[in-house]
Amino acid sequence: MITTTDLDGLTDRDWQGADAGAGPVRIAMVGLGWWTRDRAIPAVGSARFCETTVVVSSSTEKADEAAAGHPTIERAISYEEFHDGTAVDAYDAVYVATPNTTHPQYVATAAEFDKAILCEKPMADTVENAEELVDAAGNATLMIAYRMHTEPAVRRMRELVRDGFVGSVVEVRGRMSQRLLDMIPDDDQWRLDPDLSGYGTSVMDLGIYPLNTTRFVLDSDPIRAQASMSSESEGFESMPDERASFQLDFPDNVVASCAASQNAFKSDSFEVVGTDGRLRLENAFHSADARELTLAREGVRTTIDVTPVDQMIEEFDYFADRVLRGESPHPDGEHGLVDMHALKAIYEAAERDEPVSIDA
């Protein structure tokens, strides 16, 4: 039977250990694209344990523009100034949200200055550069920005799977899509440039959500990948995966069936099917959408509207909580490397049209 205890405390911060008045951790935002300006900076502005004090961009003019109207931001500097150590005393941690291929250099500089690091996913453009990033981070606090790890509904799904709600897991299904060129009407953007994005666009930028969320919910890592990809539309000529579907084999005969597209109606879902029950989260991955969680078992189905949280606020406060308490965050760099190996295998499987083992 489904009981109210299955849903109790759904939005509780079960990870929080810092006192309500602790902090704040002062953050330098490195990379001021639309995501940082429209989502990250406002989220930190509403967070409990951190604040933005420095912004870093390709020019001081662009940084000054992003800083306008944010009273906590003390300094607006260029990338060169960041590497040179300008304003190094004005921040405790960095948030790296530049194009994928450039992540390692900013992580290396932050580590050199003994700063904690929150790096966007995917953590780099290739496995080799991701390994370089982890090496460059050294002993610095490094967290990869998988915000689904702090999404309360996803955390409850993880608990329910661990508690045997669905029985033995048989299959996971996940998908994410959006119309990238409607959101950012620019064919010359970095997500469509393989020199900046990496192996592709749809799986690198969107497919990583069901991939990593499956790993988190199952507490397991994939061992083999199969995939199919195609690109036909204008703007996607340089990328193999305007549309992509992929299958990941996990231990114990568990299969994850996933799909991603940067040129399809905005939609996303995540579902776990087991021998005894099913969990499904609608609107799982897009950060601003309300979510709907369905639990089904023993002929009974319950659907609840999940009280939405700002996933970015939760992610930044979790990161700051760990920094304040001197604890290692999860997901860390080693966790992110597993995804990089899986992404490489997915693209290789599509190119070779055969299953590829994931060597992580």
For residue 360, pLDDT over 70 is answered with no
- Summarize the confidence of residues 248-275 as an average pLDDT: 98
Quote the pLDDT of residue 287. 77
Domain 152-308+330-357, CATH homologous superfamily name and number: Dihydrodipicolinate Reductase; domain 2 (3.30.360.10)
The chain-wide mean pLDDT, for the chain, equals 95
Distance CA 90, CA 320 (A): 16
pLDDT at 120 over 80: yes
4 has pLDDT over 60: no
SS3 193: coil
Q: Are 166 and 275 in contact (CB under 8 A)?
A: yes
Give backbone dihedrals phi and psi of 87, rounded to 5 degrees, phi first: 65, 20
Contact predicate 270/281, CB 8 Å = yes
Domain boundaries, the chain: 25-147, 152-308+330-357
* Intra-chain end-to-end CA distance of the chain, in Å: 39
Residue 359, classified by CB atoms within 10 Å of its CB into exposed (0-12), middle (13-18) or buried (19+), is exposed
Distance, CA of 104 to chain centre: 17
Asked if pLDDT for residue 57 goes beyond 90, the answer is: yes
Give me the amino acid identity at 65: E
In DSSP notation, 98-129 reads: S-GGGHHHHHHHHHHTT-EEEEPSSSSSSHHH
Q: Average pLDDT of 168-176? A: 98
CATH 3.40.50.720: does it fit domain 25-147?
yes
Is the separation of the CB atoms in 312 and 46 below 8 Å? no
Q: Which residues contact 16 (CB under 8 A, 6 or more apart)?
A: 317, 318, 321
CB of 330 within 8 A of CB of 155?
no
In order of 28, 60, 63, 66, the CA distances from 78 in angstroms are 12, 5, 7, 12
Instruction: Quote the pLDDT of residue 193.
Output: 97
Q: 22: pLDDT confidence band, cut at 50, 70 and 90?
A: confident
